[in-house]
């Protein structure tokens, strides 16, 4: 990834932050997007202290004009866009179908699906300019979820539908850009170890392990670093013939259903 420019949305915490740090360590110039400026600047400082390059751009990906402006600022500042990891989104406890409300539906869909559409459209435009100027292949990776493949009692209605939609966007864009030098793939994490999930596992060891065993055959949560490594792989030349695909990162959870 040496010298390549990479977008990471939702980069101020969790999976996005880990991916930004990992890809910067692989030589990418990371453009970290997020709404929390203090966390964004802290991320940039950490990457730079480790010898990497990064730029923080404040951006609410649910706002079309902010996404378009962030792409233009990326091109003005760094001259190109090679890779993108669309990761920003929201998760909340949604009511069941009969009591679901339109406001919740709209908010979750905008955050977890429409924002991907805004980002992918802007990224594709920028990547075509990069292709014309540098004659290099580009890649987009979308963060889906294991619930993009099934329903789940622990997931919400709109969230599950949105993640199914992310895979649809991924596959359609992969076909449209197959001959344009832009590959589009996705990753589908299972339950992932973040600050929030770690707090939920403050349990007696036997109880904790029983819960983890129920999540996937490995009996442990997915680490954010696992997702970061998969994203970097999908952007790399090693994945040059992988297009329109989704990689479940779930320890075998989907395989045992």
- Read off the pLDDT of residues 228-253 as tens digits, 9 standing for 90 and up: 999 999 999 999 999 999 999 999 98
- Read off the pLDDT of residues 107-138 as tens digits, 9 standing for 90 and up: 999 999 999 999 999 999 999 999 999 899 99
Task: Note the helical H segments in the chain.
Answer: 14-25, 37-49, 64-78, 102-109, 115-134, 157-176, 195-200, 205-215, 224-235
Enzyme catalytic residues:
159
> What's the mean per-residue pLDDT of the chain?
92
pLDDT level of residue 196 (50, 70, 90 thresholds): low
What is the count of structural domains for the chain? Answer: 1
Spatial separation of the C-alpha atoms in residues 232 and 81, rounded to whole Å: 15
- Read off the pLDDT of residues 32-91 as tens digits, 9 standing for 90 and up: 999 999 999 999 999 999 999 999 999 999 999 999 999 999 999 999 999 999 999 988
pLDDT level of residue 257 (50, 70, 90 thresholds): low
pLDDT level of residue 106 (50, 70, 90 thresholds): very high
Spatial separation of the C-alpha atoms in residues 70 and 61, rounded to whole Å: 10
* 99-114 burial code (b ≥16 CB/10 A, e <16): eeeeebbebbbbbbbb
The token pair at 180 is 């344009």
**What is the domain-level CATH number for residue 103?**
3.40.50.720
Q: Residue 79: which region, alpha, beta or left (left: phi > 0; alpha: psi -120 to 50)?
A: left
**pLDDT value, residue 200:** 65
Residue-number span of the structural domain to which 137 is assigned: 5-256
The token pair at 141 is 């990776």
Instruction: Say if residue 198's pLDDT is above 70.
Output: no
Against a cut of 0.85, is the pTM above it? yes
Contact (CB, 8 A) for 96 and 104: no
């Amino acid at each position: 990834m040496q010298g390549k420019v990479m977008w990471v949305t939702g980069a101020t915490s969790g999976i996005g932050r880990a991916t930004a740090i990992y890809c910067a360590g692989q030589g990418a110039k990371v453009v970290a997007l997020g709404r929390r400026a203090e966390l964004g600047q802290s991320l940039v400082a950490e990457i730079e202290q480790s010898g990497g390059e990064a730029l923080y751009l404040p951006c609410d990906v649910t706002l079309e004009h902010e996404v378009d402006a962030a792409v233009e600022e990326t091109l003005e500042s760094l001259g190109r866009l090679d890779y993108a990891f669309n990761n920003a989104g929201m998760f909340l406890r949604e009511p069941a179908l009969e009591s679901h409300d339109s406001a919740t539906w709209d908010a979750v869909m905008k955050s977890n699906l429409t924002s991907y559409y805004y980002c992918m459209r802007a990224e594709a435009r920028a990547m075509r300019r990069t292709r014309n100027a540098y004659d290099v292949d580009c890649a987009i990776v979308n963060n889906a979820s294991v619930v993009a493949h099934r329903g789940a009692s622990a997931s919400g209605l709109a969230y599950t539908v949105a993640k199914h939609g992310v895979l649809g966007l991924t596959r359609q864009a992969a076909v449209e850009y197959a001959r344009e030098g832009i590959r589009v793939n996705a990753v589908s994490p299972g339950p992932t170890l973040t600050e929030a999930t770690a707090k939920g596992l403050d349990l007696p060891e036997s109880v904790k392990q029983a819960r983890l065993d129920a999540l996937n055959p490995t009996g442990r949560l997915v680490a954010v670093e696992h997702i970061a490594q998969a994203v970097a792989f999908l952007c790399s030349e090693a994945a040059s013939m992988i297009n329109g695909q989704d990689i479940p990162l779930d320890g075998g959870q989907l395989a045992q259903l």
